[in-house]
Structure 1
Amino acid sequence: MRMSHLFRRFRLHFLALLLPLLTLLASPAQARCTGQNLLDALSPDESARLTAATDRQPFARGNLWQATRGTDRLTLLGTYHLSDHRHDRMISTLTPLLARATQLLVEAGPEEEKALRRDIAENPGLLFLTEGPSLMQQLPAEDWQGLSAALAARNIPAIMAAKMRPWYLASLLAVPPCDMGAVAAGKGLDHRVMAMAADRGLPVRALEPHTTLFTIFDTMSAEDQLAMLRSSLLMEDHVADYSATMADAYFRGESRRIWEFLRLTTAKLPGYTPDRANAEFAQMETLLMTRRNQSWIPVIEEAAAQGETFVAFGALHLAGEQGVLNLLAQRGWTITQLSP
């Protein structure tokens, strides 16, 4: 089943993994994106169907939670990976919660980011095509011209892009030109929490290996990677809208609503049916979230046994039947939502 169009829609979900790579090319910018919130443009009927689909998922709303089992205690934070002034309110709430923790778990900590950069320096083939034709040769002229223009808007030279792996370029296109400065700043909620932990001398551990990013994209064929890149180009005119929509949904505590929104809208695309969209989204959820969530649970429980633990990861991992919260609940943890 080809899912390149779904990768284009969810490449923002990879920002926690991609940030160490994106910052290699990102340059500072003054303005932030002001795209249209696509959820606000829904009709009442569409909004009602979206609400119903969201409500069917366990723990569908909220970014901050507590989990307890016996004497073990966790604070779980769903994060948004780009800088935003709206994080300030959450930081005030997190300060006392982090102060009582004995360690912090994140998707990728400082050591993992260093290891990732080291691996890339030692093995450029992780991000670059080291043999065979360049993308300039592989893509139709019209697509190459569009890609060159999109990257120029992000201050990335086309001559450099010609030898980049397609999935990496598609991921770069996930970030609108007006948000490249936010990437360069490296002040998303994950990094702000890690900075708070460092100030307190709190140990920071990773939930997964730093090679997870490459493992995920290794499952894609070269053909699907090129299709992912081409479909990303089709989104270029609306990438700021998707970015704004995802950010607004996060700060409303409704990241799962984004997933359901894209699933329902995909079902209306030419050549799609609800069954096809549901099947592809189920497969994508397994790849992007379920497998990783399941692998995180032993790490989280082991940490909790050592003392109160603060856990921070992308907000989309919280909700759903195979979300982190429901997986913990199934293992006897009592889950309580905290006010942001």
Structure 2
Amino acid sequence: MNRLVKSILTTLLSFLSVTMISQENDNTNLWKIEGDEIKTSYLFGTMHLIPQKDFVLKDKVKRAFDSSALVVLELDMSDPGFMQDMMAHAYLEEGTELKSFMDDNEYELLDNFLKDKTGIGMQMYNTMKPFMLMSVILMGSVDEPLASFEVTLMQMAKESDKQIKGLETIATQVGVFDATPYERQLDDLLDMIKNLDESTALFNTMAQLYISEDIDALYDYMDDYMNGDMEMMARFLDDRNNNWIPEITKLSKEASTFYGVGAAHLAGDQGLIKLLRKAGYTVTPVMD
């Protein structure tokens, strides 16, 4: 499976065993952020989709959540206009179809796969952007119930009357995918279908890696699967991390905040933990 597929898979699945040569961070998905002029806040690494049987929201996470006044995710999915905005960015320009980026054999392969997994063929998805089609394929390919930390956190925030905000807009997140030509995205999507067992294994490995809370191993695993492609790592992780730091600073000055982002954003030289420390904040692991 090539690098773009791996990067998109890890993005869609929270950018989620591996033996490390060196261990920089403690094994935890939850970190406390403290510093001058900000209110104590928490950074929680999520996995956007995880098998229901593996889904656990630990007590330490619940305590951090309860002590926070504001909940911030990558996207504010509670916004009434969220789905409308998502749909506005999910489709190709008018008059453009995915079929024009593939030959007949490739189109037939996709059509048959979708009919088998979802009961609906390519005709329904022909104007959808490749990254959205990949989401459909991933959901249809997993033969077990899935859970989402983001959906759970959003529901908890609503039940406790906590305000919800997003670190970035849908347009920004979609732009990460749009920067790659559709032809290449479709080539990689077809490659994923042809190597579905490997895709499933990747998902299961990421889930186990996430459960272990070994954020350094998770980051190294992702880097290895993208063959050290620095441009891809920058686009999907590093650039976004750097863009989030000013937002985190601003929001944490206003209120004690619980941040929930994909766990692969935490570690690495350009990960949120190091970037927050570089910005002058104390970032410590929450172990229990």
Fold match (TM-score > 0.5): yes
Q: Say if 1:180 and 1:119 are closer, same or farther in 2 by CA, change over 3 A.
A: farther
CA RMSD of aligned residues (A): 2.7
- Matching residue of 1:224: 184
> For each residue in 1:16-64, what CA deviation from the matched residue of structure 2 results, as whole angstroms up to 9, or x when unmatched?
79xxxxxxxxxxxxxxxxxxxxx4xxxxxxx6xx511xx36x4374201
Q: What corresponds to 1:146 in structure 2?
A: 109
Aligned to 1:320: 268
SS of corresponding position for 1:327: helix
Matched, 1:285 2:233: yes
Question: What number of residue pairs does the alignment pair up?
Answer: 283
1:15 is aligned to 12
- Classify the secondary structure of the residue corresponding to 2:43: strand
Q: TM-score, normalised by structure 2?
A: 0.86
Report the Cα distance in structure 2 between the residues aligned to 1:166 and 1:126, rounded to whole angstroms: 9
**Aligned partners of 1:146, 1:180: CA distance in 2, in Å?**
24
1:164 aligns with 2:128: yes
Contact 1:129/1:164 (CA < 8 Å) preserved in 2?
no
Query: TM-score scaled by structure 1?
Result: 0.74
Match of 2:157 in 1: 197
Query: What are the equivalent positions in structure 2 for 1:1-340 lying under 5 Å apart?
Result: 5-15=2-12, 39=17, 50-52=19-21, 55=22, 58-59=24-25, 61-70=27-36, 72-83=39-50, 84-90=52-58, 92-112=59-79, 114-119=80-85, 123=88, 126-128=90-92, 130-132=94-96, 134-135=98-99, 138-152=101-115, 153-175=117-139, 177-178=141-142, 181-182=145-146, 187-264=147-224, 277-278=227-228, 280=229, 282-339=230-287
**8 A Cα contact 2:219 2:267, kept in partner:** no
Residue 312 of structure 1 aligns to a residue whose secondary structure is strand
Distance 1:140 1:180, change over 3 A: farther
Structure 1 position 179, deviation (Å): 5.2
1:145 counterpart letter in structure 2: E
* Aligned-partner SS, 1:88: coil
Give the direction of change, closer, same or farther, for the CA distance of 1:67–1:179 in structure 2 (3 Å limit). Answer: farther
Compute the displacement of 1:132 (Å).
4.5
Deviations 1:175-215 (A, max 9, x none): 45225852xxxx41112112111111111111111212321
Give structure 2 stretches of 5+ with no counterpart. Answer: none
- Mapped to 2, the partners of 1:60 and 1:154 lie a distance apart of 41
Name the CA distance, whole Å, in 2 between partners of 1:180 and 1:86.
Answer: 11
Give the 4+ runs in structure 1 shifted more than 4 A: none
Q: Contact 2:25–2:216 at 8 Å: present in 1 too?
A: no
1:238, 1:93 → 2: CA distance? 34
Give the partner amino acid of 1:154: T
Gaps (5+ residues) in structure 1? 18-38, 40-46, 267-276
